[in-house]
Amino acid sequence: MGTLLQDSGLEDGNPGELWNLENPDAIRAAHTSYAEAGARILTTNTFGGTRPRLDMHGLGDRLHEVNQRAAEIARSVADEHGLLVAGDLGPTGELLAPLGTMTPEDAQGFYADQLRGLVAGGIDLVLVETLSDLGEADAAIAAAREVAPDLPIVVTMSFDTNLRTMMGVRPGDAVTHLAAAGADAVGANCGRGPEEMEVIAAEMVAARPDGLLLVAQSNAGLPQVVGDHFEYDATADDMAAHASRLAGIGVDLVGGCCGSTPTHIAAIGSELTSA
């Protein structure tokens, strides 16, 4: 989503979430591109939709509206194509104590507020992504249990620092902890590209308890400066081959993160459905 919005003219430093209200046609067009590429789950444009992150842009008082509208836009495209909608939660934007001042109750409250908007807009599942801190993940799971007890919960962390999260969490420990905390699916997203993702996924597979689904959504490689912008260096064919290897080791849900365009998703989809 972020990749397509930047291509559509969203400027660096501006919140993509504002477009749910002010440029909904661009959000709808991005969802439609992924739906037509064969995606089976659409992710709402709400990665930065918590109170602290919206407050940075003076949008905190429109939190419910931003999140509800985002879910409604994704819902309408998903219904046209028979797809699911994942309500997207990113990091809160604050650090838990003792590194920061946020309490677990604060974090749960931030996520619960965001989820009330997403649920009102009609999501099918909760997707918590790009987390580094297991405490923040626990707060998101507790918020989902509070606000949307019937919806499945997917939690993915970003292992971008020597195969650990920024807070030092290892893939296998994330799987064990988050499965026990009540996530239905656990995995990794973002990171440093397909090769590292496959190492991370193998560690997750080794730690998987019975019944837990595993998820991997890699960036399309690493960003390279090309002229006045960034391009990611994994091609659609690279991501398709990567998806095939992930499926081969037992990953259940495969997608893409930064730099993954509808072209990448189409290649992943055709690879996985032909296998």
Q: Which residues bind Zn ion (CB under 5 A)?
A: 190, 219, 257-258
- The least CB distance from residue 259 to Zn ion, in Å, is 8
Edge to edge, the sheet with strand 253-256 lists 41-43, 84-89, 125-131, 153-157, 185-190, 213-218, 253-256
Amino acid at 119: V
Q: Is 257 annotated as a binding residue?
A: yes
- The least CB distance from residue 120 to Zn ion, in Å, is 27
- The least CB distance from residue 158 to Zn ion, in Å, is 7
For residues 17-53, one letter each, b for 16 or more C-beta atoms within 10 angstroms of the residue's C-beta and e for the rest, the string is bbbbeebbebbeebbbbbbebbbbbbbbbbbbbbbbb
- The least CB distance from residue 264 to Zn ion, in Å, is 12
Query: Quick one: 113 or 160, whose CB is closer to Zn ion?
Result: 160
Using alpha carbons, select from 238, 267, 178 the residue that is nearest to residue 214: 178
What is the H or E stretch that residue 41 is in? strand 41-43
- The least CB distance from residue 135 to Zn ion, in Å, is 21
Using alpha carbons, select from 57, 41, 55 the residue that is nearest to residue 1: 41
CA–CA gap between residue 197 and residue 61 (Å, rounded): 38
Query: Quick one: 240 or 258, whose CB is closer to Zn ion?
Result: 258
Amino acid at 160: D
Q: Is 40 annotated as a binding residue?
A: no
42, 83 Cβ separation under 8 angstroms: yes
Tokens 């194509």, residue?
81
Query: Quick one: 239 or 258, whose CB is closer to Zn ion?
Result: 258
Using alpha carbons, select from 67, 81, 97 the residue that is nearest to residue 31: 81
CA–CA gap between residue 150 and residue 10 (Å, rounded): 35
Query: Quick one: 121 or 259, whose CB is closer to Zn ion?
Result: 259
- What does DSSP say about strands 229-232 and 223-226: parallel, antiparallel, or unpaired? antiparallel
CA–CA gap between residue 158 and residue 74 (Å, rounded): 24
- DSSP secondary structure code for residue 228 in this structure: T
Query: Quick one: 108 or 219, whose CB is closer to Zn ion?
Result: 219
Query: Quick one: 44 or 219, whose CB is closer to Zn ion?
Result: 219
- The least CB distance from residue 82 to Zn ion, in Å, is 27
| Annotated binding residues | 190, 257-258
Binding residues for Zn(2+) are 190, 257-258
